[in-house]
Amino acid sequence: MDRPRCSGPAQTTWAAFSPMIEIVFFSTNRSKLAHFRYLGEKVGIRVKGFHETTYYASYNEPKINDRSELLKLSYESALEQWLKRKGANDDDLSTFFFEDTSVTVEALSKTEEVPGVNVKYWMRDMTFAKLDALLKRAGNNRKVIVRSDIVMHLPQRWRTLLNTTDRYLWMVGESHGVIVDRERVIQPNLVYPWLDDKTFNKWFTPVGASDPISMLTITEADRADFRARAFEELTSILRDRLGLLAKRQEPVAHQLQIPGIATYPSIYVICGPSCSGKSTTASWMSEKYKLLHIEASDFMYKAFWERHGPGSAVRIGDFAEAALQTQPGIVAQPVARFLRETETSGAVVTGFRSTKELEIFQQEIADNTEVALIYLNASVPIRLDRAIKRARDDVTPEKFEKRDAQEIRMGLLDIATLPNVVLQANEGSLQELYGAVRTRYRKALRVYTSDKELRAQLQQPLRGQLESLILRTLLAERPKKKWLTTTEIAAALNRRFKEAKSKNNVSRYFNQEFHPYYELRFRERDGKRTGFLEYQLSATGISRAKQLNAAPEVPQNPNRRRERAEHAQLSLTLP
């Protein structure tokens, strides 16, 4: 069977104007999903796992050697599951894809590819010593090809645009190299978990490299990435043939600078070492001026869970340090995108730890959006005393010193040297701290005070959505200081809002993806961890829930689309 291809140029172009399009990836492999998320983010594609989109299981992959038949049967199984999802009958635009990795060891592939498409089963019983002996017995030809096959479903509209009757496209990427001559000790890659010591990657040295791909830097690994080569073909079709990536939406500017008009910050970024008062100040600004508080570490946890899952033995601090060294936009870009998507007209962001993060964040938001950068600081004894009184994480002087050292390695101190930073000591009372911030930004904060009713109105259409109801429910439950499972959240939501929301809908929402709105952990019973996750609001979630709670209760036309925030700019005439 030949690979389905486009038979000719598309007759017309269907342009998408969203900054990120979504496609669904069928896989139960968390590392592989993280890999395609990484590839997608580079080109404006948001890759979501199928389990995150629906409760239906992933596709069945038959254990056969015929690649084309395997992919055909896998596609039919995946399509069957795809059509079971909610709204499938009304959807002629969404798509999914899956990927199969195969390996051909030249010396062992006399009559058929070995291990071929069955590499994951082959790896279960294969050791390096056994493979090395097989290669030497066959003349020590160590050449190998690692191949990626991507199959992407074509909705009917796409088939029409591509002038094809094929139900799917088949993309191939290959990388050539050799099998290592000695086994290496490979440390887990916290940020790029597909460069691991569990798959064939640990033995595969690409052409031009001297180490296996799992030991290369991400830049070097990208150049030899067999999945990236297949994904590039997919991207090319979405961009050049369908026009889906042809136009990227420019960030929405929240301020318009006009001569004679004073513009004020619409985003306040507060940095500083642990217990310097960042979250406290942000919470005060959020409460008093109705600014949305975004905690960057909530987005770091999201990135962490996407790669390693809940309950991982990997420490979040170690992951964050590694991430900021190799992928400094891992939090800054999602935070900026979140600000655009929520169309918030005023926000305070805490938790950035490097100048590179700030640089990327500024690049991602609108050029004419004013950002105020504040750096809070206090002496180590004062901050340690605050940490002990806060009673989190069993703080000791040694642990606190270690955390400080890690934040310094991340680049925190360099933020205090930036030319646009406002340095603010916080060694006195909270009233003194709040007074200093209020005095410095008096005129800007006065704008937020006068504009808070309008900004609350803009959140009104969102109040009835499931996510909004969950956020507001957890905010109401917060004084009880209890963590809730999805079943308990659904019950509390129905009691509070007299809504008939199924617990399955609530569970599906939490399974769709990890959200920056929530902290999560496994529930314990009798001192032992159960398999049930429980949730409470994060700092970002608390602020968002309060913002939604402030919106007036006005009946809405369910067919009315959400309007853009036309009055989001904040400005006052010069005195």
233 lies in the same domain as 260: no
436 lies in the same domain as 492: no
573 DSSP β-pair partners: 261
Domain end, chosen from 391, 423, 454, is at 454
411 lies in the same domain as 268: yes
Residue 297 C-beta-side C-alpha neighbours within 13 Å: 15
Cα(255)–Cα(345) distance, integer angstroms: 9
73 lies in the same domain as 134: yes
In this prediction, residue 56 carries a pLDDT of 53
**Residue that is written with structure tokens 């901050």 in the block:** 383
Cα(561)–Cα(461) distance, integer angstroms: 8
Cα(339)–Cα(333) distance, integer angstroms: 10
Sheet of strand 371-377, all strands in order from the earlier edge strand to the far edge: 292-295, 347-350, 267-271, 371-377, 421-425
Cα(517)–Cα(335) distance, integer angstroms: 12
227 lies in the same domain as 351: no
In this prediction, residue 552 carries a pLDDT of 62
The amino acid at residue 92 is: D
DSSP tally for the chain: helices H, then strands E: 22, 16
- The CATH number of the domain where 491 resides is what? 1.10.10.10
Cβ atoms of 243 and 15 closer than 8 Å: yes
Element (H, E) at 356: helix 355-364
421 lies in the same domain as 479: no
Looking at every residue in the chain, the average pLDDT score rounds to: 85
- The CATH number of the domain where 155 resides is what? 3.90.950.10
Angle between the N-to-C axes of helices 278-289 and 430-440, in degrees from 0 to 180, rounded to the nearest 10: 60
In this prediction, residue 553 carries a pLDDT of 59
35 lies in the same domain as 101: yes
Closest CA to 447 of 533, 396, 372, 525: 372
414 lies in the same domain as 368: yes
In this prediction, residue 456 carries a pLDDT of 58
Query: Residue 337: inside a domain, yes or no?
Result: yes
Element (H, E) at 330: helix 329-342
Helix, strand, coil content of the chain in percent (nearest 5) = 45, 15, 35
Cα(249)–Cα(247) distance, integer angstroms: 6
Query: Residue 3: inside a domain, yes or no?
Result: no
Q: Beta-carbon neighbour count of residue 398 at 10 Å?
A: 8
In this prediction, residue 574 carries a pLDDT of 28
Across the 575 residues of the chain, what is the mean pLDDT of every consecutive 10-residue run?
Answer: 41 36 88 95 88 59 92 94 71 85 97 96 96 98 98 93 96 98 95 96 97 97 98 94 66 39 72 96 93 96 94 92 94 92 86 96 82 96 93 86 95 96 96 95 80 58 78 96 95 87 83 92 92 96 90 52 35 29
Structural domain of residue 129, as residue ranges? 21-241
Query: Could you report the per-residue pLDDT of 491-533, keeping only the tens digit for each?
Result: 999 999 887 777 888 988 898 789 999 999 999 999 899 989 9
Domain end, chosen from 177, 210, 241, is at 241
371 lies in the same domain as 501: no
Q: What values do phi and psi take at 352, rounded to 5?
A: -65, 145
- 3-class DSSP string for 441-494: CHHHHHHHHHHHHHHHHHHHHHCCCHHHHHHHHHHHHHHHCCCECHHHHHHHHH
Element (H, E) at 304: helix 296-308
Domain end, chosen from 212, 241, 270, is at 241
223 lies in the same domain as 343: no
> What size, in residues, is the chain?
575
- Contacts with 519 (C-beta within 8 Å, 6 or more apart), sequence order: 301, 535, 536, 537, 538
Q: Beta-carbon neighbour count of residue 230 at 10 Å?
A: 26
Cβ atoms of 47 and 23 closer than 8 Å: yes
Query: Residue 15: inside a domain, yes or no?
Result: no
Query: Residue 557: inside a domain, yes or no?
Result: no
Query: Residue 2: inside a domain, yes or no?
Result: no
25 lies in the same domain as 156: yes
Cα(264)–Cα(571) distance, integer angstroms: 6
- The CATH number of the domain where 356 resides is what? 3.40.50.300
In this prediction, residue 17 carries a pLDDT of 32
Cα(227)–Cα(233) distance, integer angstroms: 10
Query: Residue 560: inside a domain, yes or no?
Result: no
484 DSSP β-pair partners: 535
In this prediction, residue 575 carries a pLDDT of 29
Cβ atoms of 291 and 448 closer than 8 Å: yes
b/e code 35-61 from CB counts within 10 Å (16+ = b): bbbbbbbebbbbbbbbbbbbeeebbeb
The number of distinct structural domains making up the chain is: 3
153 DSSP β-pair partners: 168
125 lies in the same domain as 50: yes
Query: Residue 13: inside a domain, yes or no?
Result: no
Query: Residue 569: inside a domain, yes or no?
Result: no
